[in-house]
């Protein structure tokens, strides 16, 4: 893979390379945008001292998926930080700037690659909030985002889609739609959503609580999640069984918990995210839990940052910081507690895919690998370029279907090159994205969440049940 190297930031250009950085100006030459300090207003702009931490070394560039795709300096972490600097110095928030910020997947690969410890995660989160407040999007983009945020953070609304989706999947239509390619040509966004939909089975309602098997070692809350809860209920069921088998009382309260706010945080919708976070705290703050366990990477990284999200809220700030300290990814808590349940053999080759918000945002890489390697008979294989995002990134693959498909195709090639029979990851978005990409590539590999593999081993279910979960037809 050839990475174009550039000595330093270049002038801001449009995706086509010709549009000037400045936004529209009125007859007096003033920037036609709301008053504020350059691109940003005074409510938590990207911090100048964090921007100044970047020494322009470029070590992050080869790990940035958008730089890999386009080789444009302004589509790299260094370029985006340069744009933030320009904005802080008085440059107005132009359409071109917003395009480069929007194109960032938020994968945080640059954060782990940066030797200077630049906190790009905090910078882009603050920038996105500014963009949502201060930039007026075009009607199509507004309508698409409105539709996504009226649906995705609401598990009950998503569940209403299950019936029609199962009926559609029971016909031969999905195969036909993908084969003739008409939908992709006429409506690429709809075609992307169609290709991502997982094959649905029956869904049982989660219980309020699941009691620990044997001696109780901890009481844990468990996130059911929106997409996870609606489309992957079997992953939640497996998570609860594994936790119970390892001596945890699992408090689920499925009717009271809502969205954790991750999608809203990652897309700059600050107030909406805070509303979701307060509700989550109201549900679990008095539940007497030792840990709050999450099996979706994007949700976990947001829940761990509740203290920051609610720092301006006098009623919730301390509660949020305390709760955030209890949040653990499933693999983290299992390694922390240590295994007590017997693992039965699972003779299968597994490729483990690092979800970006688990590996880069939470630093959880070793724990899932250790848990998988501890299963007798399981052979773990590494995927090449593990730091490069699969292109899912929350709703990025719906907002940018073409480039997301390119990243998905790269990932599918590296996954299939392992020759493994089972792909394991810990995020519903990655599962759907990689499944769709493998199908496009004509490959065939079973997919499972880490929780399902552990569950199959603990229950002695054998490997066939796992291998039954194929990519979409
Ligand atoms: S978060 Fe990912 S896409 Fe965004 S700048 Fe960093 S590496 Fe690139
Ligand atoms: S973000 Fe870090 S790795 Fe990237 S150019 Fe700046 S200092 Fe270097």
Tell me what pLDDT residue 471 has.
52
Hunting for tokens 């299992």 — which residue is that?
A: 334
pLDDT category, 9, cuts 50, 70, 90? very low
Tell me what pLDDT residue 202 has.
74
Query: What is the DSSP-derived secondary structure letter of residue 62?
Result: G
pLDDT digits (tens, 9 = 90+) for 148-183: 999 999 988 888 888 787 777 777 777 777 666 766
Tell me what pLDDT residue 4 has.
37
| Phi (first) and psi of residue 304, to 5 degrees | -70, -15
pTM beyond 0.85: yes
* Cβ 456 vs Cβ 255: under 8 Å: no
Taking CA atoms only, the protein residue closest to ligand 1 atom 5 is 77
Q: How far is the CA of 181 from the centre of ligand 1 (A)?
A: 30
Range 198-221 burial, b when 16+ CB lie within 10 A, else e: bebeebeebeeebebbeeeebbbb
Residues 6+ positions from 171 with CB-CB distance below 8 Å: none
Tell me what pLDDT residue 267 has.
96
Residue predicted with more confidence, 56 or 21: 56
Distance, CA of 282 to CA of 280 (rounded, Å):
5
Hunting for tokens 């991750």 — which residue is that?
A: 262
Hunting for tokens 């039965």 — which residue is that?
A: 344
Tell me what pLDDT residue 37 has.
59
Distance, CA of 347 to CA of 321 (rounded, Å):
42
Taking CA atoms only, the protein residue closest to ligand 1 atom 8 is 64
Residues 6+ positions from 1 with CB-CB distance below 8 Å: 68, 385
Q: How far is the CA of 278 from the centre of ligand 1 (A)?
A: 29
Which domains are present in the chain? 48-136 (1.10.1060.10), 140-196 (no CATH), 209-335 (3.40.50), 343-468 (3.40.50.11810)
Q: How far is the CA of 50 from the centre of ligand 2 (A)?
A: 11
Q: Minimal CA–CA distance to 273: which of 285, 283, 263? A: 263
| Phi (first) and psi of residue 179, to 5 degrees | -70, -40
Coil, helix or strand for 180?
helix
Taking CA atoms only, the protein residue closest to ligand 2 atom 7 is 54
Hunting for tokens 């930039």 — which residue is that?
A: 135
Question: Which of 5, 67, 84, 118 should be mutated for ligand 2, with most atoms under 8 A from CB?
Answer: 118
Whether 261 shows a pLDDT value over 70: the answer reads yes
Query: What is the DSSP-derived secondary structure letter of residue 204?
Result: P
Taking CA atoms only, the protein residue closest to ligand 2 atom 4 is 60
Pocket of ligand 2 (CB under 6 A): 54-60, 77-78, 110, 113-114, 116, 118
* Cβ 410 vs Cβ 387: under 8 Å: no
Whether 18 shows a pLDDT value over 80: the answer reads no
Tell me what pLDDT residue 421 has.
96
Whether 137 shows a pLDDT value over 50: the answer reads yes
Taking CA atoms only, the protein residue closest to ligand 1 atom 2 is 107
Q: Which of ligand 1's atoms lies nearest the C-alpha of 109?
A: 7
Average per-residue pLDDT for the chain? 88
């Amino acid at each position: 893979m050839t990475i174009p190297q550039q000595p330093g930031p270049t002038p801001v250009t449009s995706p086509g390379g010709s549009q000037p950085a400045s936004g529209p100006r009125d007859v007096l030459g003033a920037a036609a945008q709301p008053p504020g300090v350059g691109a940003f207003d005074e409510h938590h702009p990207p911090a100048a001292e964090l921007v100044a931490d970047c020494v322009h070394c470029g070590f992050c560039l080869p790990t940035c998926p958008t730089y890999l795709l386009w080789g444009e300096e302004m589509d790299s972490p260094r370029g985006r930080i340069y744009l933030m600097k320009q904005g802080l110095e008085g440059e107005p928030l132009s359409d071109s700037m917003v395009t480069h910020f929007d194109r960032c997947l938020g994968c945080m690969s640059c954060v782990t690659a940066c030797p200077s410890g630049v906190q790009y995660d905090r910078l882009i989160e603050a920038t996105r909030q500014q963009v949502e407040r201060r930039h007026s999007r075009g009607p199509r983009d507004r309508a698409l985002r409105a539709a996504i945020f009226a649906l995705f953070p609401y598990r009950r609304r998503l569940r209403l889609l299950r019936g029609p989706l199962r009926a559609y999947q029971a016909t031969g239509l999905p195969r036909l739609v993908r084969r003739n390619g008409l939908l992709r040509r006429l409506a690429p966004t709809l075609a992307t959503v169609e290709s991502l939909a997982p094959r649905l089975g029956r869904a049982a309602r989660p219980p309020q609580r699941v009691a620990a098997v044997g001696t109780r070692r901890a009481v844990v809350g468990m996130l059911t999640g929106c997409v996870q809860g609606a489309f992957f209920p079997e992953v939640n069921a497996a998570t609860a069984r594994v936790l119970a088998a390892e001596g945890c009382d699992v408090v689920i309260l499925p009717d009271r918990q809502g969205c954790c706010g991750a999608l809203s945080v990652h897309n700059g919708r600050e107030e909406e995210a805070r509303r979701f976070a307060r509700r989550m705290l109201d549900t679990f703050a008095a539940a007497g839990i030792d840990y709050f366990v999450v099996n979706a990477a994007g949700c976990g990284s947001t829940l761990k940052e509740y203290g920051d999200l609610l720092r301006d809220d006098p009623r919730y700030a301390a509660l949020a910081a305390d709760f955030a300290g209890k949040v653990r990814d499933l693999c983290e808590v299992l390694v922390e507690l240590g295994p007590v349940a017997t693992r039965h053999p699972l003779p299968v080759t597994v490729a483990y895919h690092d979800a970006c918000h688990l590996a880069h945002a939470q630093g959880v890489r070793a724990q899932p690998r250790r848990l998988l390697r501890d299963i007798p008979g399981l052979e773990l294989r590494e995927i090449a370029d593990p730091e490069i995002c699969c292109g899912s990134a929350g709703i990025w693959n719906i907002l940018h279907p073409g480039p997301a498909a390119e990243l998905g195709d790269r990932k599918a090639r590296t996954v299939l090159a392992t020759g493994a029979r089972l792909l394991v990851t810990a995020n519903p978005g990655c599962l759907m994205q990689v499944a769709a990409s493998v199908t496009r590539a004509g490959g065939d590999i079973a997919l499972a969440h880490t929780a399902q593999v552990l569950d199959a081993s603990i229950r002695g279910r054998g490997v066939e049940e796992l291998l039954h979960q194929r990519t979409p037809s």
